Amino acid sequence: MHISIIAVGRMQRGPEQTLMDDYLRRLPWKTSVTEIDIKKQAANAEERKAREAERLLAAVPDGAALVLLDERGKALTSRNLAGKVDDWQSTGYSHIAFMIGGADGLHSSVLARADLKLALGALTWPHMMVRAMISEQIYRAWSINAGHPYHRD
């Protein structure tokens, strides 16, 4: 399995970066993080989302399951997310991409491509913290599916 995290913005060194790196390093799967940075300012939020969408979608590997982090998505339990990962593996997916949009959210073209829209609860989280949180949940999903004692119900 290969896991990608594709996100708008550049992460600076700090506790969020350290935490994300720690969880990704624990995984036996290949992992990658792709950061999308749009230098030229857009006239408005819709134009900015469209520019980001083009770069985000280009970063999704061919044939990957795409999970969008979206406040309007489904709030799954860790076991339910682990079940989705297991289902994707069982049906032949070898790559799962987790995508984190910019401050204005994701363009409709990105939302239309999603295999799963996932919410990390009803609260709004800083984008850099979301990277660390989804990294932990990916590791937790692996541990649940592998029977590793990390996750406790």
CA pair distance 34, 42, nearest whole angstrom: 21
Q: So where are the chain's domains?
A: 2-146
Supply the pTM of this predicted model: 0.94
Fold of 2-146: Alpha/beta knot (3.40.1280)
Q: How many CA atoms lie within 13 A of 87 on its CB side?
A: 9
> Can you give the pLDDT at residue 45?
85
Contact 7, 100 (CB under 8 A): yes
**Average pLDDT for runs of 10 along the chain of length 153:** 96 94 97 89 84 95 96 95 97 96 92 97 90 98 96 89
